[in-house]
Every structure is written in C-alpha cells, then in structure tokens.
Chains A and B, each alone.
Chain A
C-alpha cells in the first residue's frame, strides 16, 4: 500500500490538518471552539478514509460523528454553559504537577509507539518481486464507469455490507440493543425529578391528612413517599 502523486499530497494535507485540529481541540479555551476543531479533525480523518478506499466509512463518519454526535456535544455545551473558563477565571488544565506528569507519560507513549512502528515497518514495505499490478488495481480495472464517465463506481459499500451481514450479523443485532439501552439510559439520566412524577401522584405534604381520613391504601402511601424520596 503505497500512495503516490496527488494521493500523497492529499495524505499530508489531511494528516497535518487532523493533527493540528486535534491539538487545538485539546488546547482551546472555549469548549465550543474545541467542538468545532474536533469536527474539522473528524472531517480530515474522513478524508484519509477516502484516500484509503473506504468511502462508506467516510460517509458514516461524517453523518454519525459530525452530524449526530458533535451536534449532541454542542447542545450539551450550550446547556451547561460554563463561561468561567472562557473569561480566564478558571484554570484550563489540572494542577501543574499533574499536567507535567501527564505530558511526560504522553511523551513516553509517543516514543514507545514510534519505536514499535519503526520496528515493524519493514514488514509493510511491498515485496519488490511481487507482480506490479496488485489485486486492488485489477479490481479497479473491472469497475463500472459512472454515468458521467469521469470516475469509476467503487464497490466498497457493497463489500462492507456483505461482510457485515455475513460475518457480523449477531454483533449487528447486539449493537442495536446497545443503542436502545443508550437511548433509555440517557433519557433516564437527563430528566429532572419533576418530570418523574406521574399525574396521579399524591402531594407528599398531604399524606398524613389523607391517610387519617382513610382515603389512601397503604400501597399508595408507600408510592407517594417513594416519589418524595426521589425529589430529595
């Protein structure tokens, strides 16, 4: 897998854009700026996916991450609205000692990863004795041309779908259950205690009065006191 020509130019442009945007995500003072830089980092990574021939994943990345998750992030930033950090009255990072230790750890991590990648890099170099036309090239020659005759229609999506349903059908179903659990969980977490009261709940302050009059069954009294405990 060796890129050349314009592909390598685009590789360096998008790789540097992703790295710079990632760094600015971590460094930005305003959380909204962080989110916007993260969006540009995600778009750059999606462009790298296109360079790698994974058009479907690039589309999913843009739709799900940029269109879904980041909008959720921006909503929460607006809801929580911490302006102390922007005004500079709050520290951006942890205490200096913690930050220095974290940076040392990260430097060690970079060194370790670079060492590991350099060690194994020789294995990824294409074999010079191998035939020039790789399997991918022959695949691309067989592709249908688009209607405009300027590009070829990749069958990437088709292959991903086939592989997903052939080898990953059970994980696919489990992922749908996971998403359901996430929906229910986030609704449960984000609602207020006021929203938890049902319309037929008894006002806790009236429990003694009503039970003295004999209008409430013991189960109703218990339910009302539980609702009161939630409110605290």
Chain B
C-alpha cells in the first residue's frame, strides 16, 4: 500500500508496480497523512530558514493547514468505521481556523508596530535582547 514511499525495499520483493499502482489509483488515509506531513515540513522549513517575518507567519499558516488536513482525514476515516462522534475532527478544525485568524491579526499588528519602531521586518535584525 505504501510502496510509493519505500521503493528500494519493495524492488527486492518484486510486485512493486502492482503495489504502486494500487497505491496511486486508490489513495487511502495514509496518502492524506503523507501530504499533511509534507505540508507541515515545508512550513517548518519556512519558519526556520526565512528572514522575512511575514513569510514566517505564512509558513505558520501552512503548518496549521497541515494539521487541519490530518484532522479532516481522520474524521472521514472514523465516519466509515462508524464511530459515534466522528465529526469531532471537523469541529476541531473550526476551532483551529478561529485561533489561526486571531493569531494572524495579533501577529500582523505586532509586525506593524515593529516596523514603525525599528524600520525592519527581518528577524535577524531584531536583536535588541541579544548581547
């Protein structure tokens, strides 16, 4: 099922193409989780490497969206297994979106205040507390 992501191992076993084709034609929950993990790591890379604080905020939004994708995928999975409160994942996602909106508003207010005081939005120039 996950042959796409462990190709070297499965080449030895043979039947690689059948497995791969199955995985591509019928994506299951783990494919959604992998997309979520990749989006999350792209966001982490953005937070760790960029200097522009606005782009860092956008990377944080990307991270939160990866979490939302996982929540929704698990919610659908639980709906099919007949779990009692399967839409709880969607409710969580609503709250995550609310918190992300609040975070963006406060963060961008901080950016404007910072730019007014320091004339820069590069995180390595904001080093007042560094000795």
CB within 8 Å of B: which residues of A?
Answer: 1-4, 8, 11-12, 15, 18-19, 22-23, 25-26, 28, 31, 34-35, 38, 41-42, 45, 48-49, 52-54, 56-57, 60-61, 64-65, 68-69, 72-73, 76-77, 79-80, 82, 85, 90-95, 98-99, 102-103, 105-106, 109-110, 113-114, 117-118, 120-122, 124-126, 134-136, 156, 159-160, 163-164, 167-168, 171, 175, 178-179, 181-183, 185-190, 192
Contacts and interface: CB of A to CB of B under 8 A. Distances in A.
B40 to A, nearest CB: 8
A114 B122 contact: no
Residue among A105, A134, A168, A189 facing the most chain B CB atoms (10 A cut-off): A189
B55 A26 contact: yes
B130 to A, nearest CB: 14
Contacts of B43: 22, 26
Contacts of B50: 26, 92-94
A163 B79 contact: no
B5 A118 contact: yes
Contact of B51 (A91, A113, A164): A91
Contact of B108 (A42, A65, A73, A124): A73
21 contacts: A1-B73, A4-B25, A12-B27, A15-B35, A26-B45, A26-B55, A48-B32, A57-B94, A90-B51, A92-B51, A94-B48, A95-B124, A106-B44, A118-B2, A126-B28, A164-B91, A178-B98, A186-B105, A186-B108, A186-B109, A189-B113
Given A2-B26, A8-B24, A53 B79 contact: yes
Interface in B46-76: 46, 48-52, 54-55, 57-59, 61-62, 65, 68-69, 72-73, 75-76
B90 A3 contact: no
Interface in B74-131: 75-77, 79-82, 85, 87-88, 90-91, 93-95, 97-106, 108-113, 115-116, 121-122, 124
By DSSP majority rule, is chain B's interface helix, strand, loop, or mixed? Answer: helix
Interface residues of B, number: 79
A54 B52 contact: no
A124 B29 CA distance: 6
